[in-house]
């Protein structure tokens, strides 16, 4: 029986339990650095995934994730950050977790093997040809994740498989496979370490690049963020001052007129009445740079 890369034993760590804390931490830290470096060769495939996902998401499609265990929890973290950071609509993001919501906090035995649950979850989420599904599995063999990918692909949706083991079936079953070769773990099979770090970093890159290309970032600022607390309100006001040269009072007033929407407030401070600003932004697909022509 073949052994996945993430399941292999690294001889370097044969005496790990005998090392002092400082030595062990240094070795584990080096593994984390390797995990991030392993993303380099995967960047072209991530870029292909971004470009392929753009038309569907720009047209109103949903972004979905599928995973089991650690991979599913990493997916949930990335998904949960899209609304506050980029104001991505909550009804257009789905996390298909093997075992359902209870599996986010505790293991659900046998859930990762339930292909029928994956097919059901894809259907229940209403995913179809206009949507994008990212399947995460360190080994690339998880039946639940693979079944979710196959199901949406059959429905005509775009599928992206992210795995850390060469030759993983997930990489060929998805429309676009992204291999991040993190190799053997310090603790064989403990993919919450290097593989988990690499998967989280890959999602950080993928969804951030997507949101930038979708016009939810302007001049390196999160102009579509959801200002839900005092800190974010202050950040929004500061962005307006930096982007338009307005005074703090004027920025605050424009933000109120724009119902907290930074991009609209920028155009209001540029001299457009609120309704005209909204129409201008809509005409340019939400891209503030195009709306300002600067």
- Residues classed as catalytic: 81, 112
DSSP 160: E
Write the DSSP assignment of 161-225 as a string of letters: EEESSTT-HHHHHSSEEEE----SBSSTT-TTTHHHHHHHHHHHHHHHHHHHHTT--BTTB-TT-
Question: What span, in angstroms and rounded, lies between the C-alpha atoms of 211 and 231?
Answer: 22
Tokens at 184, concatenated: 């053997």
Write the DSSP assignment of 68-121 as a string of letters: -HHHHHHHHHHHHTHHHHH---GGGEEEEETT-GGGGTS--TTGGG-HHHHHHH
Q: Which of 144, 134, 211, 196 is nearest to 171 (CA)?
A: 134
DSSP 122: H
Tokens at 103, concatenated: 């599996």
Q: Which of 120, 116, 129, 124 is nearest to 94 (CA)?
A: 124
Contacts of 24 (CB under 8 A, 6+ apart): 16
Residue 135, classed as helix, strand or coil, is: strand
Residue 25 · residue 184 · CB < 8 Å: no
């Amino acid at each position: 029986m073949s052994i996945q890369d993430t399941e292999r034993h690294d001889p370097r760590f044969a005496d790990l339990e005998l090392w002092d804390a400082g030595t062990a931490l240094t070795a584990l830290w080096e593994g984390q650095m390797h995990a991030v470096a392993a993303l380099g060769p995967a960047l072209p495939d991530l870029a292909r995934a971004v470009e392929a996902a753009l038309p569907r998401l720009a047209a109103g499609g949903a972004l979905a994730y599928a995973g089991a265990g650690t991979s599913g929890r990493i997916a949930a973290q990335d998904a949960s950050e899209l609304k506050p950071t980029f104001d991505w609509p909550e009804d257009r993001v789905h996390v298909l977790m093997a075992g359902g919501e209870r599996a986010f906090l505790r293991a659900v035995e046998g859930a990762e093997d339930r292909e029928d649950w994956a097919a059901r979850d894809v259907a229940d989420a209403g995913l179809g040809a206009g949507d994008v599904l990212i399947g995460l599995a360190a080994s690339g063999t998880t039946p639940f994740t693979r079944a979710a990918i196959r199901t949406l692909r059959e429905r005509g949706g775009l599928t992206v498989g992210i795995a850390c083991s060469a030759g993983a079936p997930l990489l060929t079953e998805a429309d676009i496979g992204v291999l991040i070769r993190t190799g053997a773990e310090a603790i064989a099979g403990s993919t919450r370490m290097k593989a988990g770090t690499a998967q989280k970093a890959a999602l950080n890159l993928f969804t951030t690049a997507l949101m930038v290309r979708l016009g939810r970032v302007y001049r390196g600022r999160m102009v579509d963020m959801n200002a839900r607390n005092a800190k974010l309100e202050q950040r929004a006001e500061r962005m307006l001052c930096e982007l338009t040269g307005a005074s703090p009072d004027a920025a605050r007033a424009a933000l109120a007129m724009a119902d907290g929407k930074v991009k609209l407030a920028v155009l209001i401070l540029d001299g457009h009445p609120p309704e005209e600003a909204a129409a201008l932004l809509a005409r340019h697909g939400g891209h503030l740079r195009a709306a300002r022509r600067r």
